[in-house]
Structure 1
Amino acid sequence: MPELWMPGATRLDIGDHAPTDGGTAKAIGHITWDRNATAAKPADLVPYENLRDYFGKNPAGRAVASHILWDPFTGRVTQFLPANSRSKSLADKPGGTRTNRAGSVVIQIEALFFPYCRVDGKVYARLVDTPCKGWAELNAWVRSWGVPDEWPMGQPQDFVSRRDDTVWRTKAGWFRHADVPENTHQDPGSWPAFTAVAPGGGKPATGGAATYVPFPGATWFSMGRKSPVVAAMRKRLIAVGCNRYQSSKDPDVIGSGDKASYEAWQRKCGYTGAAATWPPGKTTWDKLQVPK
């Protein structure tokens, strides 16, 4: 039985526990976004204690608390509700999907962060730019509740909403706040890569973050997308003997050569027919081991 309260987290039980509805196990990534800042006008990060007190002590905060408040700069974690309770941090309109309850668990994580926050004189534009301390332990605990290391609507890369009611209802995994039906927020913008799993266990392997790029979701592989991940994928496809590239131009932009080469890789993995066609799937992506 997984732990209702994350080991190592400060427990600040706000009460008002209530069950979830069952279904696919989910986790939701949020950022606190408690100040608006820009590259030209960064702002100091709000103290962790302020948010902890808001969610845990202020009666108004009890209506919006997630399960977890996580400080990616220090690794501090405070938990306000047990994993098997719903929280109240998602908008939930009457008559629709019960967003806060739509799964066997719906574990919600608030990362203490906003774009262009300033900590010890340094400005951080994205959550993934922070030290992400404590993420390995947090990821392992969420995983222990049956939440797979997948983003059904794509790895957070931006602040664009991609809500899909069918995916939300039927898929397990991690969702951005921006992915959730009935909600209008567009966070978190980015999120750290999933951590490695030690052989035979759910604890993170020694060394912290995984060596390889996690599967970003099928929708990420759109023609014309530019990313260093594309260039890394290309190198791996060539290395495993699936070079179908006709040009060395723009190696970091998805094009027809990537499609042909990846389909060759899928066939090499034993897939045929429609299962061997673009876009990539998680199984073959994980086997390819695209390095960070």
Structure 2
Amino acid sequence: MSTGAQFYPGASTAYRYDGTYEGLMQEVNCCVTHTTEGTTLPDYDGGAMAPNTTLLPDIANQRLRAYCHFPADMSARALVDNSATSVRTNRNNAHQVELVGSCDPKRRTNWGSLRAGIDYIYWPEAPEWALREYARYIAWLNTEHGVPLTLTPHAWLPYPDSYGSSHGQRMTLDEWAVFKGHCGHMHVPDGNDHGDPGNMRMDLVVQYAKELVSGGGNSGGGSTQPPAPAYEPFPGPSWFVIGRRSPIIAAMHARLVAVGCNRYQSTLNADVWGSGDRASYQAWQRKLGYTGTDADGVPGPTSWAKLQVPNV
């Protein structure tokens, strides 16, 4: 039996496909997150491979624009549905969301001429505003449909390790049959081998959604933004370019000095990103135990969170 609102408030329904591909109405209890591996709203082969909802980043305005293709409780079509087994993946009380962008590390900083964080989102290093926007969506799924704000115990592996099933991240068919909560395409069995959404920070998305639900925050798709956090949200790796001037840079500078990673040659222009910032941040990454290309001096979401740059 289906209950609750069937379309996310404020979402576009201009690209609904249930008139062509009517699915099974059910009461969803889990949500599968995908990434589109593209930068624009897909047409999903006319709806033949569409999820329930696509979330398209509006980076300039720091919003995720929602496009609903099927009612929230209707089985969608973004998973391989093996008719030879008793458990049908698309019809196992699953709600499906596609996040426009990529989880492929080849696209961490650029995608041809496009720049991560400016022209598209590389979801394993998504800026905090994007994670909080997705949190609003899954908080709505929780309040309207009771989808638990919990994660699969299986690992959220980085792509391409998340592809296939050789690294233990994919559920068994029996696990999938009874699963409730949030998982990725990489976790779904029964003919599904895709590795999206990689190692995106779904733990933070769930955490933020719990804050919205428990704190009475706005999870209904309106324009109200969550309260400013105590620490500066991660602005994305591509934000850190030579010559960038910002009070965030100055606050980061002060924190790097405070944690003993001062590699600056001058105290002038402390609010401008330059070689001293990169060298000092690299020292911070190495202090955290990162090596090789993971300690390249370009901030990432985990090291940034641990630095605790005060909100400015």
- Please state which band the TM-score falls in when normalised by the shorter chain: 0.5 to 0.7
Shift in Å at residue 201 of structure 1? 4.7
Match of 1:172 in 2: 180
Match of 1:47 in 2: 40
Give the Cα–Cα distance (whole angstroms) in 2 for the partners of residues 209 and 173 of structure 1.
26
Shift in Å at residue 171 of structure 1? 2.3
Give the Cα–Cα distance (whole angstroms) in 2 for the partners of residues 102 and 210 of structure 1.
40
- 3-state DSSP class of the match of 1:69? strand
- Check if 1:108 corresponds to 2:96: yes
Shift in Å at residue 126 of structure 1? 3.4
Match of 1:188 in 2: 197
Shift in Å at residue 47 of structure 1? 3.0
Match of 2:227 in 1: 207
Task: Please list the CA deviations of residues 186-236 of structure 1 after superposition, one character each: whole Å capped at 9, or x if unmatched.
Answer: 11011442221344757449438899xxxxxxxxxxxxxxxxxxxxxxxxx
Give the Cα–Cα distance (whole angstroms) in 2 for the partners of residues 197 and 9 of structure 1.
19
Which amino acid letter does the alignment assign opposite residue 184 of structure 1?
A: D
Match of 1:264 in 2: none
Which amino acid letter does the alignment assign opposite residue 158 of structure 2?
A: D
Describe how 1:81-120 pairs up with structure 2 within 5 A.
Answer: 81-96=70-85, 97-103=87-93, 106-114=94-102, 115=104, 116=107, 117=111, 118-119=115-116
Give the Cα–Cα distance (whole angstroms) in 2 for the partners of residues 63 and 184 of structure 1.
18
Q: Residues 179 and 207 (structure 1 numbering): CA distance in 2 closer, same or farther, change over 3 Å?
A: same
- Check if 1:14 corresponds to 2:17: yes
Q: Supply the RMSD in Å over aligned alpha carbons.
A: 3.3
Which amino acid letter does the alignment assign opposite residue 97 of structure 2?
A: I
Task: Please list the CA deviations of residues 64-110 of structure 1 after superposition, one character each: whole Å capped at 9, or x if unmatched.
Answer: 0001110233411100100111001100112212000112xx11000
- 3-state DSSP class of the match of 1:61? helix
Task: Please list the CA deviations of residues 26-73 of structure 1 after superposition, one character each: whole Å capped at 9, or x if unmatched.
Answer: 100000013xxxxxxxxxxx334xx2xx13xxxx33110001110233
Q: Residues 135 and 126 (structure 1 numbering): CA distance in 2 closer, same or farther, change over 3 Å?
A: closer
Describe how 1:85-164 pairs up with structure 2 within 5 A.
Answer: 85-96=74-85, 97-103=87-93, 106-114=94-102, 115=104, 116=107, 117=111, 118-119=115-116, 125-130=122-127, 131-132=129-130, 134-144=133-143, 145-154=145-154, 156-159=156-159, 160=162, 161=165, 162-164=169-171
Q: Residues 171 and 17 (structure 1 numbering): CA distance in 2 closer, same or farther, change over 3 Å?
A: same
Give the Cα–Cα distance (whole angstroms) in 2 for the partners of residues 20 and 128 of structure 1.
35
- 3-state DSSP class of the match of 2:227? strand
Structure 1, 123-132 or 8-17: larger mean CA deviation: 123-132
Shift in Å at residue 18 of structure 1? 2.2
Give the Cα–Cα distance (whole angstroms) in 1 for the partners of residues 140 and 227 of structure 2.
17
Match of 1:66 in 2: 51
Give the Cα–Cα distance (whole angstroms) in 1 for the partners of residues 226 and 33 of structure 2.
24
Mapped contact 1:177–1:187 kept (Cα < 8 A) = yes
- Check if 1:33 corresponds to 2:22: no
Structure 1, 149-158 or 185-194: larger mean CA deviation: 149-158
Shift in Å at residue 143 of structure 1? 1.4
Which amino acid letter does the alignment assign opposite residue 17 of structure 2?
A: I
Task: Please list the CA deviations of residues 160-195 of structure 1 after superposition, one character each: whole Å capped at 9, or x if unmatched.
Answer: 251122321222111110111120101101144222
- 3-state DSSP class of the match of 1:108? strand
Gaps of 5+ in 2: 220-224, 232-285, 290-305
Match of 1:222 in 2: none
- 3-state DSSP class of the match of 1:169? helix
Q: What is the total number of aligned residue pairs between the two structures? A: 196
Q: Residues 2 and 91 (structure 1 numbering): CA distance in 2 closer, same or farther, change over 3 Å?
A: same
Gaps of 5+ in 1: 35-45, 212-249, 254-289
Q: What is the TM-score of this pair, normalised by structure 1?
A: 0.57
